[in-house]
Amino acid sequence: MLLFAAMAIVGALATVAVVGRGDTSLLDSRALLSAASLLVVGSLACVYLAVWELNARLLVGPDHFGYRDILGRTRTWNASEVDAVIDVAIDYAKFSEPRRAVFVLGVDGRRLMAINPIAWPSTACNRIARAAGKPIHRRRESMTAKAFRREYPRAMSWASTHPNLMGTLLGLVLISLPLAVVIGAGWLRRP
């Protein structure tokens, strides 16, 4: 949160500095685009993390479990709806560290929920497994996202199997929007 807040502050200061100069050269347009991108991305990330911190919860009862998402929507399941609880480190790319996740799979094989153990206390996964009535099946070796999807085809979507590609596409969209605004503003100023 502090990193994104600092990013937004730097972006805001740089945006004010570039706009305050009043120049409309190509170099200033690029500087404005960079500063505005820092401001927008930092601000959106801060808002997302703040809302997540306020709303997201894991819900655990004696024979049911679930979560509340960042929009406050609640989803719960009974132990009879669970087939397996799998703790696995998934390797999404060759040169990145595997990311651990705990998947709760339904009797039809689809993912009911996936928990990032970094975001929750260490006891949360154990409490969910107890409420689901299943032991946690811990994979010792990491596995690629494609191999995990082959073994559990309904546990991961295409987008979650390719997070680097999705991140790149999202980044391109976030960069393209301010660029389009700057270019559009330049076209409108032409005599």
Domain extents in the chain: 2-53+167-189, 57-156
pLDDT tens-digit profile of 130-180? 899 899 999 989 998 888 988 998 888 877 777 778 888 988 887 888 777
Residue 131 is classified by DSSP as H
Read off the pLDDT band of 185 (50, 70, 90).
Answer: low
Instruction: Give the mean pLDDT of 28-37.
Output: 79
Taking phi over 0 as left and psi of -120 to 50 as alpha, with beta for the rest, 148 belongs to alpha
CATH of domain 57-156: 2.30.29
| Angstrom distances, CA of residue 2 to CA of 14, 47, 52, 73 | 18, 12, 15, 27
* Predicted confidence (pLDDT) per residue in 79-117, tens digit: 899 999 999 998 887 777 888 999 999 999 899 998 888
Helix 26-55 crosses helix 163-189 at what angle (to 10 degrees)?
130
In the predicted model, what is the mean pLDDT of the chain? Answer: 85
Q: Which residues contact 116 (CB under 8 A, 6 or more apart)?
A: 99, 100, 101
Give the global pTM.
0.69
Give the residue-averaged pLDDT of 3-25: 82
Amino acid symbol at 97 = E
| CB neighbourhood size of 4 (10 A) | 19
pLDDT at site 146: 86
